[in-house]
Amino acid sequence: MEPFKTFFSPDLVACLAKHVSRHHPGFDARAFRSAILPKLDALELKARAQLIADILNGTLPEDAGERARVLTAILHPDPLDHANQPSDDDGICGWGVLPLTMVVGQHGVDDFDRSMDLLAEVTKRFSSEFGIRYFLIADQARAIRILEGWLDDPNHHVRRLISEGTRPRLPWAMQLPSLLADPSPVLPLLTRLRDDPEVYVRRSVANHLNDISKDHPGLVTDIARDWMKGADKDRQALLRHACRSLIKKGDAATLAIFGREKPQLALPVLHLSSNAVRMGQVLDLTAELRSTSRKPQQLTIDYVLHFLKADGRLSPKVFKGSNLTLGAGEVHIFRRAHRFREVTTRRHYAGKQAVSLCINGMDTDPVAFHLNI
């Protein structure tokens, strides 16, 4: 599979030059290509997009209205089904749109309303979720008022932009400090979009709420509890995805919303296959779960490895286990095998570690073992 950076290829540069030439008299296509192509190969994805955006910005008309006209004219004519397609002879779409959103976001804030309208048009061919953040940072209240006017837009890409563009922790994008501190200004927008007919839009709402849960977990739990009232299957699925980080952390209040109440079990004892393990080896975990309830109970069972850190502290990391229905008086044997291996996101240290279970948000006593490096 080719790396993502190859989306910004010499072919795309040539295609973009061709379309700009058609709509911008005086545009020097040869100079445009010459300013980009010698530098392209050494750059990664975002740097390639930024280079194209910078050179394109320097070639566009200075008049804001003319700039908007040219950028609109070069877009692919299909506003629905080409967001995941490559640019072609008909116009720019897919990844080729990213440099356009950079131009509008980085250089269009002074022409606020027209630039926002342009981003709404651009997002139909890919996404303006990165470009729109410049406007939210420059004047959040004004940007949100414009977004409110898009809530009933017939194009689902535009409706998704309302949620995706305002995500406080959108991957690959600059954060939105104001919404990180106080997400309340966008909650009415998310509420309006929660039952959108397109799963594409609802998924964005779920991801937005998951972002919020990183900084305001109690708020998202309260939202989930409120939205669960009368929720159909689509909204329930949205809420499960929205609360995935809270569920993984074993947040008891959130788990209760999804029917995971305080477990009624005889005290589970976790057994390990060995009290010492080396990197590359597997540690088997076993625990007998015996119900003391007179009715079935829904259980979410994860296991938690308490890794030794450089300063001697133990840091917990949750790993997914299983979901099950345990009948009244029933016994279930929980089994998992964990292989210790080096990963780029964690450094292992030799010494005493521990492992425990998290059952519906309730932690069992940790069991110690020794990790040898």
User: Residue 177: which of 127, 133, 129 has the closest Cα?
Assistant: 133
Final residue before a domain boundary, out of 217, 232, 257: 257
Structure confidence at residue 345 (pLDDT): 84
What integer is the mean pLDDT of 97-120? 98
Same domain flag for 159 and 229: yes
* Contact status, residue 327 vs residue 302, Cβ threshold 8 Å: no
Same domain flag for 59 and 181: yes
Final residue before a domain boundary, out of 257, 278, 293: 257
Structure confidence at residue 2 (pLDDT): 72
Same domain flag for 156 and 286: no
What pLDDT, in 10s, does the model give residues 255-271? 999 988 889 999 999 99
What pLDDT, in 10s, does the model give residues 40-81? 999 999 999 999 999 999 999 999 999 999 999 999 999 999
Same domain flag for 135 and 234: yes
What pTM did the predictor assign? Answer: 0.83
Is 196 in a helix, a strand, or coil? coil
Which residue in this structure is represented by tokens 């990664």? 44
What pLDDT, in 10s, does the model give residues 13-33? 999 999 999 999 989 999 999
Same domain flag for 326 and 237: no
Cβ contacts of 209-212, under 8 Å, gap ≥ 24: 209/242, 209/243, 210/241, 210/242, 210/243, 210/244, 210/245, 211/167, 211/168, 211/169, 211/170, 212/168, 212/183
Pairing of strands 331-339, 367-372: unpaired
Same domain flag for 312 and 245: no
Quote the domain boundaries for residue 337.
270-372
CA-CA distances (angstroms) from residue 211 to 38, 133, 144, 207? Answer: 39, 15, 18, 6
Give dist(CA 2, CA 16) in Å, integer.
21
Q: How confident is the model at residue 1 (pLDDT cuts 50, 70, 90)?
A: low
User: Residue 180: which of 225, 140, 146 has the closest Cα?
Assistant: 140
Question: Is residue 60 in a domain?
Answer: yes
Same domain flag for 215 and 358: no
Same domain flag for 235 and 289: no
Q: To the nearest whole number, what is the mean pLDDT of the chain?
A: 95
Phi/psi of residue 2, each to 5°?
-70, 145
* Contact status, residue 352 vs residue 368, Cβ threshold 8 Å: yes
| Beta bridge partner(s), residue 351 | 371
Same domain flag for 223 and 290: no
Same domain flag for 315 and 181: no
User: For the domain that residue 104 is a member of, what is the CATH number?
Assistant: 1.25.40.290
Structure confidence at residue 204 (pLDDT): 98
Residue 348 confidence (pLDDT) above 90: yes
Question: Is residue 264 in a domain?
Answer: no
Question: Is residue 265 in a domain?
Answer: no
Question: Is residue 262 in a domain?
Answer: no
User: CB neighbours of 276 closer than 8 A, spacing ≥ 6?
Assistant: 369, 370, 371, 372
Structure confidence at residue 80 (pLDDT): 94
Task: Give the HSE-up count for residue 138: Cα atoms under 13 Å, Cβ half-sphere.
Answer: 18
Question: Is residue 263 in a domain?
Answer: no
What pLDDT, in 10s, does the model give residues 120-179? 999 999 999 999 999 999 999 999 999 999 999 999 999 999 999 999 999 989 999 999
User: For the domain that residue 317 is a member of, what is the CATH number?
Assistant: 2.60.40.10
Residue 3 confidence (pLDDT) above 90: no
Same domain flag for 190 and 314: no
> What angle do helix axes 29-40 and 45-59 make, rounded to 10 degrees?
160
* Contact status, residue 323 vs residue 298, Cβ threshold 8 Å: yes
What pLDDT, in 10s, does the model give residues 202-252? 999 999 999 999 999 999 999 999 999 999 999 999 999 999 999 888 898
Final residue before a domain boundary, out of 234, 257, 280: 257
How many independent structural domains does the chain possess?
2
Cβ contacts of 3-8, under 8 Å, gap ≥ 24: 3/45, 4/45, 4/95, 5/43, 5/44, 5/45, 5/48, 7/45, 7/86, 7/94, 7/95, 7/96, 8/40, 8/45, 8/48, 8/49, 8/52, 8/95, 8/99
Same domain flag for 103 and 240: yes
DSSP for 115-167 reads: HHHHHHHHGGGS--TTTTHHHHHH-HHHHHHHHHTTTT-S-HHHHHHHHHTT-
